[in-house]
A and B are shown apart, each in its own frame.
Chain A
Amino acid sequence: MVRIKPSVLKKACQINPLLPLLLPECRTIEAAQQELRWIQNEVSDKKRVRQCCMLRARHYPLQYLLGSQPFGPLDVTCQPGVLIPRWETEEWTVSLAEKLPRDMAFDIMDLCTGTGCIPLLLKQMCPKCSVFAVDRSPLAYKLATRNSNTLQVPLKIIKKDILERSSEIVPRTVDLITCNPPYIPRTTFARETARSVKLFEPKLALLGNKEFYANLVDCWMSRTDAFVYEVGDLSQCYYVLNRVTGDVDLSRKWRIGFRHDSCGRPRIVYGFRASGSRLNWASILVKFGDMKH
């Protein structure tokens, strides 16, 4: 991490003595001013504002302090112990939700649901669907339940390990599976992860690699017509692609595509059955990303 110049710190202090506390996370004075405004908007007590800024100086996540994170049109409650929804996830979920048929009833299952942000948004946009959400973390289960209640978006929430106990999860088959699995490999965690994430977000939500994509191919593809999985890098996209193209049967039945986020980074691997599905996924997901197979 680059150190902040003393001259910048001094300037920030002249404007508002709280700003230097926000600089380690915000980097620029402008961003720090912005963040201070957000804190002041949502926290009325002056002492509490100061406390928040002091915690921010210790890299404590803003979303845990303010207790929420906007996700599309929803305001999702956030709590320590459960991963904060990211804008990249919001971006693809909004885009996916816009493509799904609004007036049809079908089944969606979100694995590794965390706060429940993904299924909440999908259900909000497609109210006729039955939407299931799975997470093995008790904290995530509780928070997703709470979000579903306060936002009045009904979900069926299941507390289960998707790697170890997938066979116990019902329903047996659905139309669409979404998932943002833990995808930061242990080997790069220390180097490539921001301090605030490393110190304050749950490892269970972050650390993972090919196992979740292997689990997709091995356990879940047979149970769905389409899937959308978030990834951390291209190797995870290719892992899924290669597993599919390497298998005669899967290769014949499935189409696979990749999608980038608006910063140009690989963010999604998705797939759908070429034929025989209840919905016409090829046309629903047209232009969602680039087809690779």
Chain B
Amino acid sequence: MLWKAVRAKKLHLPRILVRLQSSSTAEFQELHPLLLKRAEKYAEELKALEKWMAKGEGTFDVERQKKFSRLCAVVDSFHRYSREIELLKDLQDMMKDDPSLRDEAQQEMAEIRPQLEKTSSSLLGQLLPPHPFADRPCILEIRPGVGGIEAMIFAQDLLGMYINYAHNKRWKYHIISQSANESGSGIVDAILSIDEPGSYDKLRFEAGVHRVQRIPATETKGRTHTSTAAVVVLPQMAEDNEKEAESYERTFKPDEIRIDVMRARGKGGQHVNTTDSAVRLTHYPSGIVINMQNERSQHKNKAKAFAILRARLAEIEQKAKEEKARAARKGQVSTTDRSDKVRTYNFPQNRITDHRCGFNLHDMEGIMAGERLDDVIDAMQIYDSDTRAKELLVEVQGTA
């Protein structure tokens, strides 16, 4: 390696040169010392845990296992980050010390730079407190917005995209409910359950209004239309099975919820044998109403309705907490309005733009096949970590 060989040499440069050199290579934004202090604390915590494990006295339960692997991951990233930063600094020093090596050093810096940026953002992501529902599976609700049938078709395309995404990752998923547009193309709504733990953390950035620009198949004059579909992402709080639903149902007071079933005319009972399994669940305190009819079993429809109610209430509660925290540091960080469009899919230009992080991707086929969705999600994750890091620093500095 270059830097080791030349390290011993020390030459003195005129001051002005030093300044110029360093400014041309100092664009890299190091992580804030307060954040690094956190990392050091994790490293200490890991040491202590390792010591405890080595003694082999207590029980290494699931919780501890989880904690152990999380700490290992953070500390590994931290070490990698420290190594790479040190390397960068050495190269910088080297340039100061020996102008004759400047070109070589700069070349090597350019090489390690992308890696360092990656390490840095993943460490940042790990240092931030995880989202409270990060390890949950998730539920996606997709509905057409403006744009009539074209919006319904786009909603179906999005549903397909998420199914493909789960499929590529070999994640289990199932459609909780889906209603097709009566005229045959597109969907009126769909609820997709992605059963993989942790899928919520990946897909939560999908929430919001998605916009499509393309020439609909039905358009005769070749005009580009703009339509939208809305995606809601909920943390799955329990499986949508009957047992969970029953115990969850019992946590409500009788006057908080109401369950309605389809009202057939006539006398019911032995007089008719139609499958009336549709269920409507109303939760009065929140005003949430959930219709569920996909299953032949009323019992299952009810269980699914309760699973969705549970997810929605958890999300509402979480959003309220976030709002409260945000209000406490009002105006210090930018926030995105949930009703804003989050992403545009421009078919004529083969371009996907995420409006929150400004990320562009030119591969419509890849994204709709679910193969390139991770590109956008990764960009959003970095953007989200940065935003949250800013919030965290404001908070930490505020209390210090």
Q: B190: shortest Cβ distance to chain A, in Å?
A: 13
- A232 x B267 contact (CB < 8 A): yes
**List of A residues within 8 angstroms of B246 by Cβ:** 98
- A25 x B269 contact (CB < 8 A): no
**List of B residues within 8 angstroms of A66 by Cβ:** 296
How far is it, in angstroms, between the C-alpha of A86 and the C-alpha of B269 when the chains are bound? 6
**List of B residues within 8 angstroms of A205 by Cβ:** 270
- A197 x B272 contact (CB < 8 A): yes
Q: B307: shortest Cβ distance to chain A, in Å?
A: 15
Find the A residue at minimum CB distance from B276. A87
**Given A30-B179, A30-B182, A61-B273, A88 contacting B299 (CB threshold 8 A):** no
**List of B residues within 8 angstroms of A262 by Cβ:** 259-261
How far is it, in angstroms, between the C-alpha of A219 and the C-alpha of B272 when the chains are bound? 30
Find the B residue at minimum CB distance from A198. B271
Find the A residue at minimum CB distance from B264. A263
- B182 x A194 contact (CB < 8 A): no
Q: B390: shortest Cβ distance to chain A, in Å?
A: 48
Prevailing SS type, chain B contact patch? loop
- A34 x B293 contact (CB < 8 A): yes
**Given A72-B299, A90-B298, A262-B260, A192 contacting B271 (CB threshold 8 A):** yes
- CB under 8 Å from chain B, chain A span 54-102: 61-63, 66, 69-70, 72-73, 83-84, 86-91, 94, 98
Choice from B179, B269, B270, B299 contacting A73 with Cβ under 8 Å: B299
**List of B residues within 8 angstroms of A211 by Cβ:** none
| A29 on the B face (CB < 8 A) | yes
| A265 on the B face (CB < 8 A) | yes
| A201 on the B face (CB < 8 A) | yes
**List of A residues within 8 angstroms of B275 by Cβ:** 35, 38, 62-63, 87
| B9 on the A face (CB < 8 A) | no
- CB under 8 Å from chain A, chain B span 238-274: 242, 246, 259-261, 263-264, 266-274
| A196 on the B face (CB < 8 A) | yes
| B300 on the A face (CB < 8 A) | yes
- A94 x B299 contact (CB < 8 A): yes
How far is it, in angstroms, between the C-alpha of A192 and the C-alpha of B184 when the chains are bound? 35
**List of A residues within 8 angstroms of B263 by Cβ:** 263
Find the B residue at minimum CB distance from A41. B296
How far is it, in angstroms, between the C-alpha of A261 and the C-alpha of B276 when the chains are bound? 13
**List of A residues within 8 angstroms of B272 by Cβ:** 86, 193-194, 196-197
| A293 on the B face (CB < 8 A) | no
How far is it, in angstroms, between the C-alpha of A245 and the C-alpha of B178 when the chains are bound? 52
Find the A residue at minimum CB distance from B260. A262
| A206 on the B face (CB < 8 A) | yes
- CB under 8 Å from chain A, chain B span 181-228: 182-184
- CB under 8 Å from chain B, chain A span 112-151: none
- B271 x A194 contact (CB < 8 A): yes
How far is it, in angstroms, between the C-alpha of A184 and the C-alpha of B270 when the chains are bound? 7
Q: B364: shortest Cβ distance to chain A, in Å?
A: 28
- B269 x A70 contact (CB < 8 A): no
Q: B194: shortest Cβ distance to chain A, in Å?
A: 21
- B271 x A184 contact (CB < 8 A): yes
How far is it, in angstroms, between the C-alpha of A165 and the C-alpha of B293 when the chains are bound? 43
Q: Pick the most buried of B179, B180, B270, B277: most chain A CB atoms within 10 A of its CB.
A: B270
| B297 on the A face (CB < 8 A) | yes
Q: A156: shortest Cβ distance to chain B, in Å?
A: 25
- 1/0 per residue, CB under 8 A from B, across A24-42: the answer is 0110011001110010000
How far is it, in angstroms, between the C-alpha of A180 and the C-alpha of B269 when the chains are bound? 10
**List of A residues within 8 angstroms of B293 by Cβ:** 34
- B268 x A88 contact (CB < 8 A): yes
Q: Pick the most buried of A14, A63, A87, A197: most chain B CB atoms within 10 A of its CB.
A: A87
**List of B residues within 8 angstroms of A33 by Cβ:** 180
Q: A93: shortest Cβ distance to chain B, in Å?
A: 11
| B294 on the A face (CB < 8 A) | yes
How far is it, in angstroms, between the C-alpha of A30 and the C-alpha of B187 when the chains are bound? 12
Find the B residue at minimum CB distance from A25. B274
**List of A residues within 8 angstroms of B297 by Cβ:** 70
Choice from A38, A90, A182 contacting B270 with Cβ under 8 Å: A182
How far is it, in angstroms, between the C-alpha of A232 and the C-alpha of B182 when the chains are bound? 36
| A11 on the B face (CB < 8 A) | yes
Choice from B179, B259, B260, B298 contacting A87 with Cβ under 8 Å: B298
- CB under 8 Å from chain A, chain B span 145-195: 179-180, 182-184
How far is it, in angstroms, between the C-alpha of A263 and the C-alpha of B268 when the chains are bound? 9
How far is it, in angstroms, between the C-alpha of A153 and the C-alpha of B164 when the chains are bound? 40
**List of B residues within 8 angstroms of A14 by Cβ:** 183-184
- A263 x B271 contact (CB < 8 A): no
How far is it, in angstroms, between the C-alpha of A114 and the C-alpha of B369 when the chains are bound? 50
How far is it, in angstroms, between the C-alpha of A25 and the C-alpha of B270 when the chains are bound? 16
**List of A residues within 8 angstroms of B277 by Cβ:** 70, 87
| A15 on the B face (CB < 8 A) | yes
How far is it, in angstroms, between the C-alpha of A34 and the C-alpha of B269 when the chains are bound? 22
**List of A residues within 8 angstroms of B184 by Cβ:** 14-15
- B260 x A70 contact (CB < 8 A): no
Q: A163: shortest Cβ distance to chain B, in Å?
A: 18
**List of B residues within 8 angstroms of A183 by Cβ:** 269-270
Find the B residue at minimum CB distance from A78. B273
Q: List 26 A-B contacts (CB under 8 A).
A: A11-B182, A14-B183, A26-B274, A34-B293, A34-B294, A35-B275, A38-B275, A62-B275, A63-B275, A70-B297, A73-B242, A84-B273, A87-B275, A87-B276, A183-B270, A184-B271, A193-B270, A196-B273, A196-B274, A205-B270, A206-B270, A233-B267, A263-B261, A263-B263, A265-B268, A265-B269
For the complex of A and B, 10 pairs with smallest distance between CB atoms:
A70-B297, A194-B272, A15-B184, A193-B271, A262-B261, A84-B273, A88-B269, A73-B242, A263-B263, A197-B273
B positions within 8 Å CB-CB of A: 179-180, 182-184, 242, 246, 259-261, 263-264, 266-277, 293-300
- Interface contacts beyond A26-B274, A197-B271, A201-B273: sample of 8 additional A-B pairs, CB < 8 Å, sorted by A: A25-B274, A70-B295, A73-B299, A88-B268, A184-B270, A194-B274, A230-B269, A263-B268
